[in-house]
Structure 1
């Protein structure tokens, strides 16, 4: 019998926020599993679209195989639609989730066909309903038809965030550290689960979710001493920022950086943080580079035959189409300042006099809740939003808009991108809300190079315009 591990980390997406740590997540998980010596086959993959993910699982689990254990790991974006969890391929399109993502139910069908004695799934995925912040909804209990022992690890509950990291995703790092906690004896998967539970006790922002339908004797490694080398690699190659805060960085006589052990002082920490923080000049420089770069890069002349282009800029957050998106992201982010206010407040909707009279006391228990969204730019900026509007010259075409918003924080700038398509509601007017085509957000340090981001934004807008023109002309040919 064989033991097989399938590891997938999607770091780059066509339409979603990049997650650079996901590729390192796969490398670290591979190193852990190799150290156990238990897996006959380990298949690591980075940046797969949905079709490639399906083929990766099918190829690793031939129907005539005899499987002792199958471990499936995924790190990347995820989305819930109804009761279904989808892990997103690199070409994920929210309008076509079954084609461009890998439904959890389909994954489980493939595992049932393989009939392993033990199935372990570890899913560290973002949930799009939480707007591309790392997190996922608890998976539904697994029906054990065709499966003997099933253990599932998911990174958080559906109303929480599960953040990525500089080197590794936060939940993946916690899973790896829990795996090497013991220095001798057998390491059971239940040991990892129990350690993770303790690690997140009191963390109201993130609660890992587990499904365990096994004997409690399923093992990761039969001797923890086998993991000594990986433990050192985890502490060095994938060391956390918290680890680095316990060291001093100095320059020797040659000007090279050297690291000396010892706690840093409060002054050193504050000075290091000060260098990363932005101000009005840094904000102006980054936003100017971004906005001007997009306007310069996007080739309006390519579409001049079909559209008139117009540019609008605001010194605050005036564009309603992107407002809710910004609030939902920023309200979940931990920021050390209030340069931007982004809040969602829930209030009870008062029952009408007729409801009070007809339902009496029951009206107080059946009240509905209303959400109020608050978004304010509290600091002064010359440029906070850019809107590029492409108005069609032909009635068969619809209007397209790109809206970019920059929300400053002391440590970084939050950048929001949205492309929408707007049908006509009158002879010379278009729907204000429109249909979302692209919705992404990014964070950039104040000294960051934005050239790659400019290219992503312009490529997405260009694709949206081309797709609309091609789709419209094909429809007209059919008519």
Structure 2
């Protein structure tokens, strides 16, 4: 905090102590009219804050040293702690609404009361640092409310709130260690922080509360043994939970949907390709009238997006009441009203139910059986509803998973702390080979596709099919050099990067690619192989193309099979015309179909469709039949691409590797693909690629979804060969000279007429997704040895997501490649603070210390790497580093 801000805060506190919080009117001048009656004083909201702190403290006292409690006491503490939390949550939401109303009062009349509230939070002597974490989400909501006003007073309050939230973030970081750790002095912000020991804090709380009294105040008295409790209520025995194989987890999220955090959690799960079950509270979805009719509310849209993207929605009661204490119509209503709202969202809703707090009864289980609902409990409790520290949550979950080896994990999608903890947990679990189960309609299975799998992308594809054809060894036509390699590269890219399953990828090379073989692939293997209306089909052809002039004067294009005769009069019988391909496109039931032809020909006019607002939603409803070709009639396909590819296919591969994502949303549409490939290829060859929609298309776009890059850069990371880098530089320059998507670049259709391409609308992304895209871009630039640009991209990723260990490592490695080892050391050390188990960062750190001449530090880093990854890819380099030291 600057001296200026400290001085201002000191003056403000002094004025507060002197009683100057209320503005005092100046004395009236003689003969002046009487002053208006004073406005009624605003209610003092500070006691409401104290209630939040009290609830937070009681939860801490309940759960401190829980490992030392017997099972009954532990269960009671968790159950009551959850009840206290939901009471605290309701109070916080009500207070947040009142604060938002104050922030919107005319002429800023609510601001003085908001100032008093912040004074309490910042400087109340009775508050400990840890107490103030109870106010974080409340302050975030207030900051959002103030952002709607542009007045100077609102801006000042907004700035003050920002400083308070930064102070709370600092407090949170300093409480990341387990209980009992001594904390160092914090950097002061708007809240003056004090040095504390957790044990001292806990001891102070225990003077205020006892676990037993808290339980008793909440209606729980301990004493009966587990055996006695089982005898008293045998009917409450929980049904068997779904069995899961070893190293298999089912992730579940309770209490949502939340308007902010559910979306962020969904994005994280999609990034890792992990399914999950979201147990929704009914009243968050809407209301149910007396006649039983469900009325969905605003937050139902969040749940609908979860369902649409492949996640499972389930029942968590209507109001989150403790159902073990309910009976009769009230109990039945809690279960069935929430079920009615879920059915309004999805008539085929998953028949899963979770009792709030896990508190069930024989009567409740009987109602579930009658409603054909299945109770789902959990074995691994994150305690994210009680623990405000993300790293502590992650550590707790991972320890329990290490012990159990499998199970159902309980989270809540209503906390920012869960959003922060989830990537830490998933990074470790994925690295250790855990698999994740989802609901498949009948039970829990790892065979269910996650919402992030490429076959369930944003546009709603069910399956992805490909027909890949490459012909070098023609009988009568000149032999080609690149077509086979092009086909192999395209098959590999589709399967490895975009999730096209091998069993749904039809590959025809050389002697297999006869006219009959190609037509059979469409008419038999696709049409009768299970292709459905929500699938997509990509057709890639690398080989000869030809154009024949008809008696009408119109030109007709052909692709040439391996067994076609090299005579014009035999084209009609031996080759496959564009008209036949158009008929095939219209006959296939797939939603979207894209032909990519690395051949040159003309003879089929293509239509154009323009994309409007709501692109992704509309695109899922429209058929799409598109074609991209390498060039026009009488043009030769240019060889000379790196790796034995044609220039067109090399450019196509680069586009699908990420360069074709022109608007940075992680999706590459057919239009974006053409907008990159066509001007780039035309700029470095004598070809003019063509693109458009086949007649009969309804304007739908074939869409590729880019998978998130997860490579930690290291000495083992691959980079492009010099000739590939040189061609990519030319391609990017040629593409950059053409107008961007917003300016509608002109690309020829198959008749040779230049037409503007409709731009692909930008899809809004959360900060976490933008950070991933920036990191992905940095990896592309690194592979092309464009280190300064890569550095900027990784920096942007860290600005968007400061805890992004992957980007931190990659930034460090780019520094190292730029001969800046000192900076590299700092970033590798930052990486290890964020992810201490990341072995590759120790190898990188060792090389950076070696470059600085510090043999001792380098040896320590190399040794740590070998302890973590003795058989890792960098083990030989680490051993060589030890010998050199």
On whether the aligned pair clears a TM of 0.5, the verdict is: no
Which has a greater percent of helix? 2
TM-score normalized by structure 1?
0.43
Normalized against structure 2, the TM-score is what? 0.24
Higher RCO (C-alpha under 8 Å, 6+ residues apart): 1
